């Protein structure tokens, strides 16, 4: 029966033949799968590249993430890193390692998540190559590429005193969704799946196109908020040699500072903030992160080096 096919029973070649048609194609692809390497267009003579692994356990739980969620989220988190440089995502390569008893249908749904995620967040971006292996630990490694279209990259080191600090996307929702999943048990999340906070955790929808908009609007620094606003803002402040003074009123709640995996964009703007961004503070002299002028020290965020227990699934 087809639904009983596994990675081990069908083998690498057979699984790839079933996965390839489901993957999104890339407008930038000059030579696609079928050779030892792909060839991708880099029209301005440079390309932006980021790589990120999602590991079963530290990074996701099969108790609540569907395979579709995994493909979508792996795409989203990498696309967001490209966007934060002010680039347009052009292509991905995807390496998946899975236990040999993994159902082929599971891997097909991962591919569907990549396809629908790319179509929704970065149309034209697709998968140009990959690798499929067996492993005791389900692992999804994505490398993503982007095109700067002739612009300089927006780095972490350019924030200037007097700039407005602004964010595109939601703050704290993914962390709140993770708390809901932990509190309500892992085996039967049931209707929790439709909760917007849970959706923000399992299937985030970062504002990818806002990255280019910010670059065109003159953003002086930008970062993808993956580890919580406070921690990531501190990184930009350190790289730029300044401090970020955030407004508690603009943030709404301090939870916005400590939640991880927002995959929103934090940028600084010397003039008006870009469309899609909202002001949450100002760049000042000093170091670290302040809230209403007072130092804010809490770390927050999701720590894969501390928070994983294999027993929870």
In whole angstroms, how far apart are CA 53 and each of 100, 147, 249? 19, 22, 36
Among the residue ranges 32-40, 62-70, 271-279, 289-297, the one whose residues contact a copy of itself (CB under 8 A): 32-40
2, 36, 183, 297: which one binds a copy of itself (CB under 8 A)? 36
The residues with which 243 forms a beta bridge, in sequence order, are 284, 288
Separation CA 236–CA 244 (nearest Å):
9
Among the residue ranges 18-26, 188-196, 197-205, 217-225, the one whose residues contact a copy of itself (CB under 8 A): 217-225
Beta carbon nearer to a copy of itself, 28 or 201: 28
Is there binding between residue 70 and a copy of itself (CB under 8 A)?
Answer: no
Per-residue x/- track, 78-107, a copy of itself (CB under 8 A): --xxx-xx-x---x-xxx-x--x-------
Is there binding between residue 27 and a copy of itself (CB under 8 A)?
Answer: no
Q: Is 2 exposed, middle or buried (0-12, 13-18, 19+ CB in 10 A)?
A: exposed
55, 62, 199, 279: which one binds a copy of itself (CB under 8 A)? 55
Among the residue ranges 113-121, 148-156, 193-201, 294-302, the one whose residues contact a copy of itself (CB under 8 A): 148-156
Separation CA 67–CA 85 (nearest Å):
28
Beta carbon nearer to a copy of itself, 87 or 197: 87
Is there binding between residue 274 and a copy of itself (CB under 8 A)?
Answer: no
CB burial of 264-298 (b: ≥16 within 10 Å; e: otherwise) equals: bbbbbbeeebbebbeebbbbbeeebbbbeeeebee
Instruction: Work out how close the CB of 184 gets to a copy of itself at its nearest, in angstroms, rounded to a whole number.
Output: 26
4, 34, 190, 249: which one binds a copy of itself (CB under 8 A)? 34
Side-chain half-sphere exposure of 81, counting CA atoms within 13 A:
20
Beta carbon nearer to a copy of itself, 293 or 310: 310
Handedness of CA 208, 148, 114, 93 (dihedral sign): negative
302 phi/psi in degrees, rounded to 5: -95, 125
Determine the 3-state secondary structure of 276 from DSSP.
coil
Is there binding between residue 135 and a copy of itself (CB under 8 A)?
Answer: yes
Among the residue ranges 66-74, 142-150, 250-258, 290-298, the one whose residues contact a copy of itself (CB under 8 A): 142-150
In whole angstroms, how far apart are CA 103 and each of 2, 62, 66, 108, 227? 10, 14, 13, 9, 32
21, 101, 133, 295: which one binds a copy of itself (CB under 8 A)? 133
Beta carbon nearer to a copy of itself, 176 or 269: 269
**Residues 89 and 145 sit within 8 Å (Cβ to Cβ):** yes
Beta carbon nearer to a copy of itself, 146 or 259: 146
Q: What is the arrangement of strands in the sheet containing 126-134, beginning at the earlier edge strand? A: 126-134, 88-98, 139-147
For the chain, give the number of residues: 313
1, 194, 297, 305: which one binds a copy of itself (CB under 8 A)? 305
Q: Which residues bind a copy of itself (CB under 8 A)?
A: 7-8, 11-12, 30-31, 34-53, 55, 57-59, 80-82, 84-85, 87, 91, 93-95, 97, 100, 128-131, 133-137, 139, 141, 143-146, 148, 153, 155-157, 222-224, 239, 304-305, 308, 310
């Amino acid at each position: 029966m087809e639904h009983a096919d596994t990675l081990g029973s069908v083998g690498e070649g057979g699984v790839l033949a079933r996965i390839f048609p489901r993957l999104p194609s890339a407008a930038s692809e000059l030579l696609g799968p079928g050779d030892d390497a792909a060839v991708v267009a880099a029209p301005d003579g440079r390309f932006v590249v980021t790589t990120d692994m999602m590991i079963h356990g530290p990074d996701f739980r099969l108790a609540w993430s569907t395979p579709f969620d995994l493909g979508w989220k792996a795409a989203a988190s990498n696309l967001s890193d490209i966007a934060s440089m002010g680039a347009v995502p052009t292509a991905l390569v995807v390496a998946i390692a899975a236990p040999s008893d993994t159902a082929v249908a599971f891997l097909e749904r991962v591919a569907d998540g990549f396809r629908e995620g790319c179509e929704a967040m970065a149309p034209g971006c697709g998968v140009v190559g990959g690798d499929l292996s067996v492993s005791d630990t389900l692992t999804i490694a994505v490398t993503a590429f982007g095109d700067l279209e002739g612009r300089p990259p927006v780095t972490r080191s350019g924030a200037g005193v007097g700039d407005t600090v602004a964010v595109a996307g939601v703050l704290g929702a993914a962390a709140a969704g993770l708390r809901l999943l932990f509190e309500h048990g892992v085996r039967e999340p049931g209707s929790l799946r439709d909760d917007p906070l849970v959706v923000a955790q399992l299937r985030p929808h970062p504002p990818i196109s806002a990255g280019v908009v910010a670059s065109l609007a003159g953003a002086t620094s930008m970062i993808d908020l993956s580890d919580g606003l406070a921690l990531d803002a501190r990184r930009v402040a350190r790289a730029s040699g300044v401090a970020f003074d955030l407004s508690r009123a603009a943030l709404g709640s301090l939870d916005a500072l400590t939640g991880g995996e927002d995959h929103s964009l934090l940028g600084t703007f010397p003039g008006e903030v870009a469309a899609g961004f909202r002001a949450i503070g100002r760049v000042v002299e000093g170091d670290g992160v302040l809230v209403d002028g007072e130092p804010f020290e809490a770390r927050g965020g999701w720590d894969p080096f501390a928070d994983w227990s294999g027993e929870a699934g």
